[in-house]
Amino acid sequence: MKLNKLLLVGAALTAMPTLALAQDAAPGFDEIGPYIMTTLLFLMAGFLVFWMAAGFAMLEAGLVRSKNVAMQLTKNVALFSLAAIMYWLIGFNLMYPGDSWSIAGWLGPFFSVTSLEPVGLGAADAALDYASVGSDFFFQLMFVAATASIVSGTLAERIKLWPFLIFVAILTGVMYPISGSWQWGGGWLSEVGFSDFAGSTIVHSVGGWAALAGAIVLGPRLGKYKDGKTVPMPGSNLALATLGTFILWLGWFGFNGGSQLAMGTVGDITDVSRIFANTNMAAASGALVALVLTQVMYKKPDLTMVLNGALAGLVSITAEPLAPSLFGSLLIGGVGGVIVVFTVPLLDKLKIDDVVGAIPVHLCAGIWGTIAVAFSGSATLGAQITGIVAYGAFTFVVSLVLWFVLKATVGIRVSEEDEINGLDMSELGMEAYPEFSKG
């Protein structure tokens, strides 16, 4: 018995140096912790931003007339799916070229397909300085899909499905990644000092500029402007529109919070919580300002303005949700609410038909939010204006050309008869609310 014990002790002593070496070789949590936590941040924030796709779909379904609801839902599912494939095929590496610029600071590599780490990657073989490629790709993809959704709402009720999807493919695979690389990919605008924390300009204004170009080329809906007056065309379901707004509000916590791009330290986690609080404050302020202003101006509150006021507050704070105080966020979001209330009727005077108010919310409030960054000291006013002009000129001009090309080749607008009957039946052969059309 004693001999057996001695043999066991000897074996244990022999194994101890090997065990110690194995433990020394394994990375500790101090080394792998930031990688794990940042990867989790991207994944959790990413699925919150994904939920915004449902928000856009519900908002648009509620603000269009019942004869066009199924079409809007189809467009939103299709544009998200198309964006996912185009961003994998071209967009991600075009936007984040690293050391593979085709034209340094301006243009990344084309047709560089995104690839992920191998299955079962060990800590010793992983690049632990950031996060997994899969989580980064997943998170960034959600932003490009949001950009395309902005265009969908503006051009509702009169655009053909397939020309719209052709535009989406080019926007998500080429246009958005190229301009995004100028700042987030380490391009020339980042060197100028332009700052856009989560995308008031890079995401929202880009979608707004593309939508504006499309609205100009496409023209207004039939009967929208008659005898110098704007004819109201109420949406089919304000309950859905309200649900969509709350879903977008929820998803925005991932949109802005995930853009901290790190959760490996106490400071990072504290900053994410600060971003959440500021984001919420701006949305609340935008909604209340729109509520009060519409009461004063029209003698009755306007729910659609209140919904868009909340969204404008969210867009406004997106350029810098970390630096401001809660009071500063309240002011930034409140100005966004003011912008919506005054810009919506201005567009109608210009006879630019924006069905859901995406141009005032995403373009105009996005510009304001980007300028407001200078007030927090995160960038100079000159750098911010440079970025606004660069993104506006590039996106608007390229979009305008593309819309004109599509109009001249395949056509972008449905016939008058199809528009009157509704795109659900003319484009899809089905209705969202078939029971209501039976008589």
pLDDT at 2 over 70: no
* Residue ranges of domains in the chain: 33-111+130-437
Q: What is the pLDDT of residue 438?
A: 52
257 is written with which tokens? 């919070």
Q: CA 178 → CA 199, 216, 362, distances in Å?
A: 14, 24, 20
**Would you give the distance in Å from CA 335 to the centre of its chain?**
21
Instruction: Tell me the C-alpha distance between 7 and 279, whole Å.
Output: 66
Q: What is the pLDDT of residue 30?
A: 64
Stretch 100-110: mean pLDDT? 92
* 344-402 per-position pLDDT tens digit: 999 999 999 999 999 999 999 999 999 999 998 889 999 999 999 999 999 999 999 99
Q: What is the pLDDT of residue 386?
A: 97
SS3 382: helix
Instruction: Tell me the C-alpha distance between 203 and 221, whole Å.
Output: 26
Q: What is the pLDDT of residue 112?
A: 86
Phi-psi region of 422 (alpha: psi -120 to 50; beta: other; left: phi over 0): left
Q: How confident is the model at residue 121 (pLDDT cuts 50, 70, 90)?
A: low
* 246, 289 contact by CB (below 8 A): no
Q: What is the pLDDT of residue 33?
A: 77
Radius of gyration of the chain (CA): 25
Stretch 179-201: mean pLDDT? 96
Q: What is the pLDDT of residue 18?
A: 47
Instruction: Tell me the C-alpha distance between 68 and 433, whole Å.
Output: 10
pLDDT at 27 over 80: no
Q: How confident is the model at residue 6 (pLDDT cuts 50, 70, 90)?
A: very low
Q: What is the pLDDT of residue 411?
A: 97
- CA atoms 408, 410, 412, 413: torsion sign: positive
74 is written with which tokens? 């189809």
Stretch 228-237: mean pLDDT? 93
* 202-221 per-position pLDDT tens digit: 999 999 999 999 999 999 99
Q: Which residues pair with 103 in a beta bridge?
A: 107
pLDDT at 289 over 50: yes
pLDDT at 415 over 60: yes
- CA atoms 62, 68, 70, 73: torsion sign: negative
Q: What is the pLDDT of residue 31?
A: 74
- Give, to the nearest 10 degrees, the angle between helix 238-257 and helix 303-318: 10
The answer regarding whether domain 33-111+130-437 maps to CATH 1.10.3430.10 reads yes
Stretch 309-337: mean pLDDT? 98
Q: How confident is the model at residue 137 (pLDDT cuts 50, 70, 90)?
A: very high
H or E element at residue 229:
strand 229-230
* 333-347 per-position pLDDT tens digit: 999 999 999 999 999
Q: How confident is the model at residue 439 (pLDDT cuts 50, 70, 90)?
A: very low
**Mean per-residue pLDDT of the chain:** 91
The b/e string for 49-62 (b: 16+ C-beta within 10 A; e otherwise) is bbebbbbbbbbbbb
pLDDT at 17 over 60: no
Q: What is the pLDDT of residue 26?
A: 58
Q: Please report, as a single letter, which amino acid is at residue 265.
A: T
Percent of the chain residues topping a pLDDT of 70: 91
Q: How confident is the model at residue 124 (pLDDT cuts 50, 70, 90)?
A: low
Q: What is residue 323's DSSP assignment?
A: S
Q: Higher pLDDT residue, 322 or 129? A: 322
Q: What is the pLDDT of residue 117?
A: 75
